[in-house]
Amino acid sequence: MAGLISRVALGDRLAFARLYTHTSPKLFGVCLRILRDRTDAEEALQEIYIRVWQRAKSFGRAAGTANSWLVTIARNHAIDLIRARKRPTEDIDDRTDIADESVPNPETAMAWKDEGRRIDECMGRLPSAQSRAVKQAYVEGLSYVELAELFSVPLSTIRMWLRRGLLKLRECMESHG
């Protein structure tokens, strides 16, 4: 995957097409999960791959793997979009539909699992509500406002509480080297 991105950085359109084939189901999954709307997710996916094409040169300087670089571009764009919206429309039924349509792909599923799982141990040391909030915020792109509603606490309380969890997490990750 990293090799493909390097070729994309050289402007190789065939490599770009191949990169899209291999990675677009994952990045589309990111868009759907965070934006919760199919049309918005398709629009976002276009924008994301245009950025991938434009920013491929900076991949070498970025930390982390090719997969996390791609997901970061997708998440940042999707979260920017949803924060710019006034209020996301929560629709449980839509989300079930999306899950049903997901395509299991053993080959690529493996590729997305090669990130270290050290964080799991540190997450396990947090109070369960705190680790759940951290993970849900990341995966679903929840805002502080949504988290405050979810946990039925004031906005300032949720922020202080989550920050404490994040700093504990950092301490744990650093102590593992």
Partner 1 sequence: MADESELRPGEMDDALAAEYVLGVLPHDERALIEKRIGSDAAFAARVATWQAHFSAFDPDYAEVSPPAAVFDRIERRLFGAPAPARTAFSLWGSLAFWRGLAAASLAASLFIFFRPDGAIFQSQAPVLVAELAATTGHMGLVASYDPADGEMRIVPIAAASDNPKSLEVWLIAEDGRPQSIGLVDTADKGLIRISDPMRQRIHQGVSFAVSLEPQGGSPTGQPTGPVLASGTLRSL
> Residue holding tokens 């994952």?
26
Select 89 or 144, whichever has its Cβ closest to partner 1: 144
Closest distance to partner 1 from the beta carbon of 128 (Å): 16
> Whole-angstrom Cα distance, residue 154 to residue 125?
25
Q: How far is the CB of 114 from partner 1 (least distance, A)?
A: 9
CB of 16 to partner 1, least distance (A): 8
58: which residues sit within 8 A by CB, 6+ positions away? none
Nearer to partner 1, 54 or 89 (CB): 54
| DSSP assigned state of 112 | T
Give the rounded distance of the alpha carbon of 51 from its chain centre: 16
Q: Which residue has the tokens 């920050």?
A: 163
**Separation of alpha carbons 69 and 81, rounded Å:** 19
Among the listed residues 50, 59, 76, the one whose alpha carbon sits nearest the alpha carbon of residue 6: 59
Distance (Å, rounded) from C-alpha 18 to C-alpha 1? 10
Q: Which is nearer to partner 1, 89 or 103 (CB)?
A: 103
Minimum gap (Å) between residue 5 Cβ and partner 1: 14
Distance between CA atoms of 32 and 42, rounded to whole angstroms?
9
The distance of closest approach from Cβ of residue 149 to partner 1 in the complex, given in angstroms and rounded to an integer, is 13
**CB nearer partner 1, residue 89 or residue 107:** 107
Task: Select 5 or 142, whichever has its Cβ closest to partner 1.
Answer: 142
